[in-house]
Amino acid sequence: MSAPLILGTHLAYVMLGCCIAAAQPGEAPAASRDAPTEDDLGARITAGCFSSGSCCIASGGLGCNDVFCCDSVCSADSSCCSTGWDQGCADLAGILCGSVCAGTCPSDGSCCDSHSGGACDDFTCCDLVCTNTPSCCEAVWSSACADLARAICGDTCAGTCPAPGDCCAAHDGGGCEVASCCGAVCNDLPSCCSETWSSACADYANLVCAHCSEPPRCPTVGSCCEASGTQTGCERSTCCDLVCDNDSYCCDTEWDITCVRSAFNICPNVCDCNLFGDFDNNGRVDLRDVATFMQCLTGSGGGPVAAGCACADYDGNDEAYLEDLPPLINAMTP
């Protein structure tokens, strides 16, 4: 039976129940269903109107885990407590139970993009993210929630723009990291988003995406916080760009002590951490540090990073997001 037909059937029960429950002329008004008595609730529990399953998701069990919501739904359609809690029962819960189903998985909004309201439209991904970061279901699905979904939800976010991967080189998975380039390529070659970013996709990106045809001045090699003799630029891209935008000498000629002073002054966090990713300052990057990094995530546009999270910001843009994760993994001590 299709979802609309199931919901329609259950709504018919609701309408019929309302008509039956309405007081007839000369009769006392029917009692409110909003506050069942203790005896009512005890009878409901005995009859199966309380179980471990969410009221907001079809479970196949009898009843659900909020007794007041379960009472409201099963009063409208007793089959939800006597036969099974199907999608129609879950849909009724969304209509009858107020805030009970707000911010539960699944909900409206893509898991791969930030949006108002909690939770997102893919149950498995939503559950993974909210187990890790409950505020993604309790408050709003922020850019940090979307970044976490991209990191831990496998193929759920594959093929969306932007997506992990260099636009200028072939890689597994659809899409690439520069939204404008990704969109331009996938508009003409849809399989580059729906399948994999093949060598043909990368070749096309090199033709139509300006950033692929210009050699980058940043990043290069060497610490941004130390003078490097004749070397230009430094290893952290955003900090390198900030310094060279302020003083082109640092990228055109030499990364000298003046460039280092600029890095200390205008690159948040970069020079405040002895070793990137080493949050406990023990000289190595391990799984404890990775766990701390996940807690420090701000998402793109979600900065500044919190106190104690300087070691999560690799590129010095005062944010901690997916672009900071690969260098963290590379810095891990075997």
Q: Of the candidates 96, 209, 103, 120, which has an alpha carbon nearest to the alpha carbon of residue 161?
A: 209
The answer to whether 267 and 254 have CB atoms below 8 angstroms apart is no
Q: How confident is the model at residue 97 (pLDDT cuts 50, 70, 90)?
A: confident
Radius of gyration over every alpha carbon of the chain, rounded to an integer in angstroms: 27
The band of 32, judged by pLDDT with boundaries at 50, 70 and 90, is very low
CB contact at 8 A, 172 and 188: no
Q: Choose the final residue of a domain: 53, 86, 101.
A: 101
Phi, psi of 71 (to 5 degrees): -60, -45
Residue type, 155: D
pLDDT score at 156: 77
For residue 151, tell me if it sits in a domain.
no
**Are 251 and 218 in contact, with CB atoms under 8 Å apart?**
yes
3-state SS class at 17: helix
Does 305 reside within a domain?
A: yes
Above 70 in pLDDT, residue 39? no
Query: What is the domain count for the chain?
Result: 2
Judge whether 246 lies within some domain.
no
CA-CA distance, 204 to 181, in Å (whole number)?
A: 10
Cβ atoms of 228 and 255 closer than 8 Å = yes
Q: What is the mean pLDDT of residues 87-92?
A: 86
Domain with residue 290: its CATH number is 1.10.1330
* Highest mean pLDDT: which range of 82-96, 114-128, 161-175, 259-273: 259-273
Q: Which domain holds residue 304?
A: 272-331
Find how far residue 289's CA is from the centre of its chain: 21
Answer with the one of 74, 101, 128 that is the final residue of a domain: 101
Query: Does 126 reside within a domain?
Result: no
Domain's final residue, options 69, 101, 133: 101
Q: Residue 186: inside a domain, yes or no? A: no
- pLDDT for position 29: 39
- CA dihedral of residues 291, 295, 299, 301 (deg, nearest 10): -140
- The answer to whether 179 and 141 are in contact (CB under 8 A) is no
The chain-wide mean pLDDT, for the chain, equals 80
Place of tokens 């404890």: 288
Q: Please tell me the predicted confidence (pLDDT) of residue 8.
A: 47
Residue 194 lies in a domain: no
Lowest mean pLDDT among 22-26, 56-60, 241-245, 280-284: 22-26
Q: Does 184 fall in a domain? A: no
**Inside any domain, residue 279:** yes
Mean pLDDT of the 243-252 span:
92
Confidence of residue 37 (pLDDT cuts 50, 70, 90): low
Q: By mean pLDDT, which of 9-13, 114-118, 167-171, 275-279 is the weakest?
A: 9-13
Report the distance separating Cα 187 and Cα 124, nearest Å: 29
In this structure, is the dihedral angle defined by the CA atoms of residues 40, 44, 50 and 56, taken in order, positive or negative?
negative
